[in-house]
Amino acid sequence: MDEERFIKKFEEVFRATPEIISSAPGRINIIGEHTDYNQGYVLPAAIHMSIQFLAGRRDDDRVHIWAENFGDESSFSSRNIPTLRKHHWDSYIKGIFWILEKNGFSPGGINGLVWGDIPIGSGLSSSAALEVSVINGLDMLFQLGIAPMEKAKLSQQAENDFVGMKCGLMDQFISVFGEDNTAIFLDCLSFDFENIPLNLNKYDLEFMVYDSRVKRELSRSEYNTRRSESADADLYLRSFGLPGYRGTTLDMLKMQKDQMDLVLYRRARHVISENERVQKAKQALQNDDFLTLGQLLFQSHVSLRDDYEVSCPELDLLYEFGLEFSGCLGSRLTGAGFGGSGIALVKKKDADVFIREILDLAQKKGYRIPRVFPVKIDKGASTSIL
Ligand code: GLA
């Protein structure tokens, strides 16, 4: 339905017919936060919200993109794109052309139309979804023959080196590899992964997203700071002869406490403890043990709030309310933090009351009214010829 409407729009804007449609989802991360760029473990799941990309080849090198959500057009050459680092919605698309060229691929000019229903800047990975929808679309249009994991990695590199956000692989990975009713356990050192069925329906549970609608001004630079702090902490551990995050236990870390800078110590404690929680969460899901999973979500939030310092009062509210509300098994911030979204594992029968009460609470506190809604755990990206 939507598709037909947008094909019409494409034809109106470009006086040409689109050849392909590409779709890539956003995600929630169940657990494993700020671990991906530390060669740790993550456990994300793709959701029903996505970015859609309609495109057709042109005879020249120009790229013309219409972004329906912004009512805005961007036009640039598909080659020699300057890395301006100016943040704009089209940076993610330019970044894909840029990284493809850098890696020896040469997609030509296109007309493209993008739209989507992932709230932008909400921490549900609208940018990764945009990157993945575009790289998949170009791969199909120009028969580039790029393997799925390579697409995720190239998209991540575009975001790291073109957009300037030093993110890990999680968001692009799950957008490519997501599956219906499935979380994916990814080892960010070996890039091995394992599908973990999410039997939420069987137990009448659902994941609720709480989009705080808050975005800290400096979130990108703060993210990059966390990334370098945790890399420093890892180096520090190695300088004591310890094996770094993957081999150091919490007890081993504790023994270094007096020698280490306190901030670096806390960053390391988050990464090491979060990796342990991801492994426990994986096991809990394999046993359909949602009570344990819920406890791990709460613990993860505390660690992100106190040790990694990426929470904010609005997301702490979700955690605190989740602890009190009997129909909620666990809640925590999801994604980078600094505003953005949280998730709560909630009994379906209590979902309406959960939403009503947390909205009331946010209002009483004078916070921006959040968006709170259940998510369907959905499949990863797909592309088809029209
Ligand atoms: C953002 C990044 C991911 C990951 C999370 C935090 O979503 O894009 O790579 O680091 O933050 O876990």
Catalytic choice (171, 211, 234, 307): 171
What mean pLDDT is reported for the chain? Answer: 96
Of 252, 230, 71, 87, which is closest to residue 162 (Cα–Cα)? 87
Residue with tokens 């709170």: 372
Structure tokens at 133: 């929808």
pLDDT at residue 239 tops 70: yes
Would you state the pLDDT for residue 288? 98
**Dist CA 148 CA 316 (whole Å):** 36
Ligand 1, CB cutoff 6 Å, lining residues: 33-34, 36-37, 167-168, 170-171, 335-336
Torsion sign, CA atoms 313, 316, 318, 324: negative
Residue with tokens 């050459």: 77
pLDDT at residue 94 tops 70: yes
pLDDT at residue 83 tops 90: no
Q: Tell me what the mean pLDDT of segment 316-339 comes to.
A: 97
Of 381, 26, 367, which is closest to residue 177 (Cα–Cα)? 381
Would you state the pLDDT for residue 153? 98
CB-CB contact of 115 with 35 (8 Å): no
Residue 353: CB atoms within 10 A of its CB come to: 14
CB-CB contact of 194 with 203 (8 Å): no
**What digits encode the pLDDT tens for the residues 102-124?**
999 999 999 999 999 999 889 99
Cα of 171 to ligand 1 centre, how many Å?
7
Would you state the pLDDT for residue 87? 79
Would you state the pLDDT for residue 305? 98
Nearest CA to ligand 1 atom 1: 336
pLDDT bin (cut points 50, 70, 90) of residue 85 is: low
Of 81, 76, 72, which is closest to residue 61 (Cα–Cα)? 76
3-class SS of residue 10: helix
pLDDT at residue 2 tops 90: no
Would you state the pLDDT for residue 163? 92
Structure tokens at 378: 């959905």
Which atom of ligand 1 approaches the CA of 33 most closely? 12
Structure tokens at 147: 């393997």
**Dist CA 321 CA 325 (whole Å):** 6
E strands present in the chain: 20-31, 41-57, 62-67, 72-77, 110-116, 182-187, 193-197, 205-215, 328-333, 339-347, 371-375, 382-385
Which atom of ligand 1 approaches the CA of 169 most closely? 9
CB-CB contact of 266 with 307 (8 Å): yes
> H or E segment at 298?
helix 290-306
**Dist CA 200 CA 178 (whole Å):** 16
Nearest CA to ligand 1 atom 11: 336
Q: Is 72 a catalytic residue?
A: no
Cα of 62 to ligand 1 centre, how many Å?
32
Would you state the pLDDT for residue 212? 97
Which atom of ligand 1 approaches the CA of 125 most closely? 7
Would you state the pLDDT for residue 1? 55
**What digits encode the pLDDT tens for the residues 173-204?**
999 999 999 999 999 999 999 999 999 999 99
Nearest CA to ligand 1 atom 9: 168
Structure tokens at 37: 């760029």
**What digits encode the pLDDT tens for the residues 346-366?**
999 999 999 999 999 999 999
Count of residues making up the chain: 386
Q: Tell me what the mean pLDDT of segment 24-51 comes to.
A: 98
Provide the whole-model pTM: 0.97
